[in-house]
């Protein structure tokens, strides 16, 4: 009955010129000579078309759509500067959020970036695809670390040794607010150089916490924590877990006297100290490094795109397996340790001396991860456990130096 079924023509909703089945009222004459439609269709494809058309013209109109389209293997070709710029703009916005530990905003931006990006598209799309993926990975691991630390706690006291605008905390608020087990009390003591700034930060955080229904207190501590003599305000309350968040900025001294800081940590015996080692290359911060990398890989992808075809499987494999990993390593964690080496080792000794011992981020991943990595030699990852820190490396580059510390006498 449907012997004359021709898949292609029917799906295209166009009469197939090769069809033996003639439409009752043949309109072929009217559009047979319509060759200009071809160009317009190609142009329509090339237009940046994501539900909105930047050039303001109508997309493929009903008229042209009925022709038989010669659709060979097409890629979504995005023309125009605007789409690439928009994508990169979003990426930078996201990276900035990550660099400020504003995980909430970052994870809100990522889906849009990912949707626009593609490893099979234009250069900006390909670069964006891998960077977005790397950012995603970083967000997930940051979230995991925080979550894990606070999972069992009802009362939390966070001491942020350099709170600035406090942009890293709303994300945590969100997580705590959406937990099924409601948190009983949450207080943040923010340390900073200007009392006005601190109070402004405190107000903002309070407003946000209130909007989420979180019980919240903020205390401002002006000055450098290493120089604090009166520790009563930092003392933990009953059943309260103390977490010290310490973002190392080696470009300037935030904590004051190192000895003082150590003494403080010793006294506080926080349940967890999270230390994040930032890259200290000439650009100084995550964001700078991110932008640098973006430029570099954009150029590289461009060059590759010129040399090989748009649908080159080899290019895709090189980009995904080699550069994708490289990008991820740069973005996902601290980055190459150039000046940081000495410092971390020093801190490790010091922390040990005052009674802390390292805790790995997830139980005992070293042995297992090692075995896992052993299965994928081509990835070029190395895993080294050194001085209580877990160091994940890519070839010769050390990437992740994460350390978490807890009092030695504490049992988990």
Partner 1 sequence: MFQPVRAPHQDHHKSPIMDTTLYTAKLPYLIYSIQPGNGQSGMRSSSNQQLPVISQTSTCSLSSESGDPCGSAKWAASLLRECAKAISEKDSTKIHHLLWMLNELASAYGDCEQKLASLFLQALFCKATETGERCYKILTSVTEKSRSFESVRKMMLKFQEVSPWTSFGHVASNGAILEAFDGGSKLHIIDISNTFCTQWPTLLEALATRSDETPRLKLTVVTTVSMEKSVMKEIRQRMEKFARLMGVPFEFQVVSELSRLAELTKEELGVQEDEAVAVNCIGALRRINVKDRDAVVRMIHSLGPRVVTVVEEEADFTSSSMDDQFVKCFDECLRFYSLFYEMLEESFSTTSNERLMLERECSRSILSVLGCDGEVEVDVGDEESEIRERGRQWSQRLRKEAFSLVGFSDDVVDDVKALLKRYRAGWSLVLAQGDDDSAGLYLTWKEEPVVWVSAWKP
Query: Which residues within the stretch 357-386 sit at the binding site for partner 1 (CB under 8 A)?
Result: 357-369, 371-372, 375-376, 385
Strand partners, 160: 190, 245
The nearest distance, CB 2 to partner 1, in angstroms, is: 5
- In terms of CB distance, is 174 or 343 closer to partner 1? 174
- Nearest Cα to Cα of residue 359 among 348, 343, 345, 370: 348
407 binds partner 1 (CB under 8 A): no
- In terms of CB distance, is 80 or 363 closer to partner 1? 363
| Count of positions on this chain that bind partner 1 (CB under 8 A) | 93
Interface positions, 168-197, toward partner 1 (CB under 8 A): 174-175, 178-180
The span of 62-70, 153-161, 235-243, 258-266 binding partner 1 (CB under 8 A) equals 62-70
Among 32, 144, 212, 259, which residue sits at the site for partner 1 (rule: CB under 8 A)? Answer: 144
Tell how far CA 261 is from the center of its chain: 31
Among 33, 62, 213, 307, which residue sits at the site for partner 1 (rule: CB under 8 A)? Answer: 62
50 binds partner 1 (CB under 8 A): yes
C-beta separation of 239 from 156 below 8 A: no
Q: Are strands 397-407 and 389-394 parallel, antiparallel or unpaired?
A: antiparallel
75 binds partner 1 (CB under 8 A): yes
Among 93, 206, 283, 387, which residue sits at the site for partner 1 (rule: CB under 8 A)? Answer: 387
The nearest distance, CB 49 to partner 1, in angstroms, is: 5
Among 40, 54, 66, 397, which residue sits at the site for partner 1 (rule: CB under 8 A)? Answer: 66
The nearest distance, CB 72 to partner 1, in angstroms, is: 11
The span of 5-13, 83-91, 196-204, 208-216 binding partner 1 (CB under 8 A) equals 5-13
Residues near 363 by Cβ (< 8 Å), separated by ≥ 6? none
Q: Which helix (H) or strand (E) holds 378?
A: none
Rounded to an integer, what distance in angstroms lies between the CA atom of residue 163 and that of residue 198?
8
Burial class of residue 5, CB neighbours in 10 A (0-12, 13-18, 19+): exposed
Interface positions, 94-123, toward partner 1 (CB under 8 A): 107-108, 111-112, 114-116, 118-121
393: helix, strand or coil: strand
Block residue for tokens 């928009």: 86
68 binds partner 1 (CB under 8 A): no
What are the tokens at 349? 């000794």
72 binds partner 1 (CB under 8 A): no
The nearest distance, CB 310 to partner 1, in angstroms, is: 8
- Nearest Cα to Cα of residue 225 among 187, 185, 266, 196: 266
Among 71, 253, 345, 349, which residue sits at the site for partner 1 (rule: CB under 8 A)? Answer: 71
The nearest distance, CB 82 to partner 1, in angstroms, is: 15
129 binds partner 1 (CB under 8 A): yes
The span of 155-163, 258-266, 267-275, 306-314 binding partner 1 (CB under 8 A) equals 306-314
228: helix, strand or coil: coil
- In terms of CB distance, is 98 or 254 closer to partner 1? 98
Interface positions, 229-268, toward partner 1 (CB under 8 A): none
Q: Report the 10 Å Cβ neighbour count for 225.
A: 25
Rounded to an integer, what distance in angstroms lies between the CA atom of residue 103 and that of residue 248?
18
223 binds partner 1 (CB under 8 A): no
Task: Show the beta-strand stretches assigned E in 101-209.
Answer: 155-160, 185-192
382: helix, strand or coil: strand
Interface positions, 14-43, toward partner 1 (CB under 8 A): 14-15, 21, 23-25, 27
Strand partners, 216: 186
Among 313, 338, 345, 395, which residue sits at the site for partner 1 (rule: CB under 8 A)? Answer: 313
- Nearest Cα to Cα of residue 360 among 347, 369, 372: 369
The nearest distance, CB 9 to partner 1, in angstroms, is: 8
Q: At what angle do helices 169-177 and 123-150 cross, to 10 degrees?
A: 60
Rounded to an integer, what distance in angstroms lies between the CA atom of residue 115 and that of residue 108?
12
């Amino acid at each position: 009955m449907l012997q004359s079924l021709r898949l292609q023509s029917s799906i295209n909703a166009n009469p197939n010129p090769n069809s033996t089945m003639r439409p009752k009222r043949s309109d072929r004459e009217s559009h047979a000579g319509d060759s200009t439609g071809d160009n317009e269709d190609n142009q329509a494809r090339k237009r940046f078309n994501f539900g909105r058309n930047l050039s303001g013209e109508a997309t493929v109109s009903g008229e042209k759509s009925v022709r038989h389209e010669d659709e060979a293997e097409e890629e979504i070709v995005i023309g125009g500067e605007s789409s690439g710029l928009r994508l990169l703009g979003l990426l930078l916005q996201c990276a900035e959020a990550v660099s400020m530990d504003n995980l909430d905003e970052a994870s809100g931006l990522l889906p849009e970036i990912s949707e626009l990006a593609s490893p099979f598209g234009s250069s900006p799309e390909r670069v964006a695809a891998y960077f977005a993926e790397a950012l995603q990975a970083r967000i997930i691991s940051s979230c995991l670390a925080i979550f894990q630390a606070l999972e069992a706690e009802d009362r939390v006291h966070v001491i942020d040794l350099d709170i600035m605008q406090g942009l890293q905390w709303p994300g945590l608020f969100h997580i705590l607010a959406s937990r099924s087990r409601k948190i009983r009390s949450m207080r943040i003591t923010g340390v900073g150089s200007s009392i006005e700034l601190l109070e402004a930060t405190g107000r903002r955080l309070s407003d946000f916490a209130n909007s989420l229904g979180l019980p919240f207190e903020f205390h401002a501590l002006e000055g450098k924590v290493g120089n604090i003599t009166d520790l009563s305000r930092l003392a933990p309350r009953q059943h309260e877990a103390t977490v010290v968040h310490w973002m190392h900025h080696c470009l300037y001294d935030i904590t004051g006297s190192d000895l003082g800081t150590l003494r403080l940590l010793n006294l506080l015996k926080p349940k967890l100290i999270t230390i994040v080692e930032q890259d200290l290359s000439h650009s100084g911060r995550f964001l700078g490094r991110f932008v640098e990398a973006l430029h570099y890989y954009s150029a590289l992808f461009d060059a590759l795109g010129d040399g090989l075809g748009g649908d080159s499987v080899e290019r895709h494999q090189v980009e995904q397996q080699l550069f994708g990993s490289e990008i991820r390593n740069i973005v996902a964690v601290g980055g190459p340790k150039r000046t940081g080496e000495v410092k971390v080792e020093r801190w490790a000794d010091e922390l040990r001396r005052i009674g802390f011992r390292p805790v790995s981020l997830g139980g005992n991943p070293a042995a297992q991860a090692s075995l896992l990595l052993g299965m994928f030699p081509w990835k070029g990852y190395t895993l080294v456990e050194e001085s209580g820190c877990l160091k994940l490396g890519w070839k010769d580059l050390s990437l992740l130096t994460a350390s978490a510390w807890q009092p030695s006498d504490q049992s988990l």
